[in-house]
Amino acid sequence: MESTIIKSRNFNASFGSNHVVKNVNIDIPRNQIIAVMGPSGCGKTTYLRCINRMHELIPGASSNGEMLLNGEDIYKMHPIFVRLKIGMVFQRPNPFPNLSIYDNVIAGYKLNGIKLPKPEKDRIVEHSLTRVALWNEVKDSLNKKGSFLSGGQQQRLCIARAVAMEPEVILFDEPTSALDPISTSTVEELFHELKANYTLIVVTHNMQQAARVSDKTAFFFLGELVEYDETKTMFTNPKDNRTQNYITGRFS
């Protein structure tokens, strides 16, 4: 299999006349954790949402350029197909409040009308919850509502929901910014487990988090991809002045 899973060429995105992602070229390798960092409003979240075509759902949003998944243009596939291949976890945990924990995990099947035999569903639920280290905490309360869990547990439930669909890539949009430090470190540990099976792209404000969890880091500034390199190199020996200024805290 090719080692690059997502490839962007001259990729641009805008809201109306506001050009927020400018000419981004990036190659994302398979089964790695890529951190996308940068100050607020630098276009990192918009770029992330372009990967699974969530950006275009906002009125007035547009994009152009190439975005390839395994060499195929994402923008020539059906968005529903893209989103099944590329899962997403959001800033705030958003389990479906009307569904039980069990149903939340298989929501991608259940709500899409895909019928599965009960043992198969049980297997997916247990497997996915085990993957996100939540199985032992919730195995006796699978029929309770998802909103009954703590914030950190809810976020892991949302990750389990994405994992259950067996995507190739999972996008994380500041996944720990609404969580306390302990839940944050649980989620960060999870990333290392998930890496074996999925490619993770994590948007974060938090430089320490980028340094802790990622293999490679992309630094966005004012819509441009300023630097993209091995995380170690990036934090010890940045090539661009702006990266240097950002990681030493000279602006934020």
Partner 1 sequence: MQAKSVKYRLGKSYGFQLLTYLLAFAIVVPLLAILFYIVRAGITRINWHFLVNIPKPVGESGGGIANAILGSIIIIAVASIIAIPIGIMAGIYLSENGKSRLAYWVRLSTDILQGVPSIVIGIIAYFWLVKPLRGFSALSGSVALAIMMLPIIVRSTEETLKLLPDTLKEAALALGMPFHRVIFKVIVPVGFSGILSGIMLSIARITGETAPLLFTAFGNPYLSVNIAKPMQSLPLLIFNYATSPYTDWLNLAWGASLILLFWVLFLNILTKLLTRKWKVQL
Which position among 23, 32, 70, 94 is part of the footprint of partner 1 (CB under 8 A)? 94
> Should residue 90 be labelled a site residue for partner 1 when binding is judged by CB under 8 A?
yes
Nearer to partner 1, 75 or 235 (CB): 75
Tokens for 76, please give them.
């020539």
Q: Answer yes or no: are the C-beta atoms of 217 and 234 closer than 8 Å.
A: yes
The CB-of-108 to partner 1 minimum distance in angstroms stands at: 4
Q: Which of 67, 74, 138, 158 binds partner 1 (CB under 8 A)?
A: 158
Close Cβ partners of 227 (under 8 Å, ≥ 6 residues apart): 218, 219, 234, 238, 239, 240, 242, 243
**Which residues in 176-215 contact partner 1 (CB under 8 A)?**
none
Q: Is residue 57 within the footprint of partner 1 (CB under 8 A)?
A: yes
Q: Is 26 helix (H, G, I), strand (E, B) or coil?
A: strand
**Judged by CB, which is closer to partner 1: 164, or 226?**
164
3-state secondary structure 201-245: EEEECCHHHHHHHCCEEEEEECCEEEEEEEHHHHHHCCCCHHHHH
If one asks whether residue 127 binds partner 1 (CB under 8 A), the answer comes out as no
Q: Find the binder of partner 1 among 1, 76, 80, 143 (CB under 8 A).
A: 80
> Residue from 19, 30, 92, 205 that binds partner 1 (CB under 8 A)?
92
Give me the least distance between CB of 73 and partner 1, in Å please: 18
String of DSSP letters for 113-149: T----HHHHHHHHHHHHHHTT-HHHHTT-TTSBGGGS
111 contributes a contact to partner 1 by CB under 8 A:
yes
Q: Per CB under 8 A, does 52 bind partner 1?
A: yes
Sign, Cα dihedral of 130, 127, 132, 28: positive
Q: Give the span between the Cα atoms of 252 and 208, in whole angstroms.
A: 14
From the list 16, 62, 81, 192, which residue makes contact with partner 1 (rule: CB under 8 A)? 81
Q: What residue ranges bind partner 1 (CB under 8 A)?
A: 52, 54, 57, 59, 80-84, 87-88, 90, 92, 94-98, 107-108, 111-113, 145, 147, 158, 161-162, 165
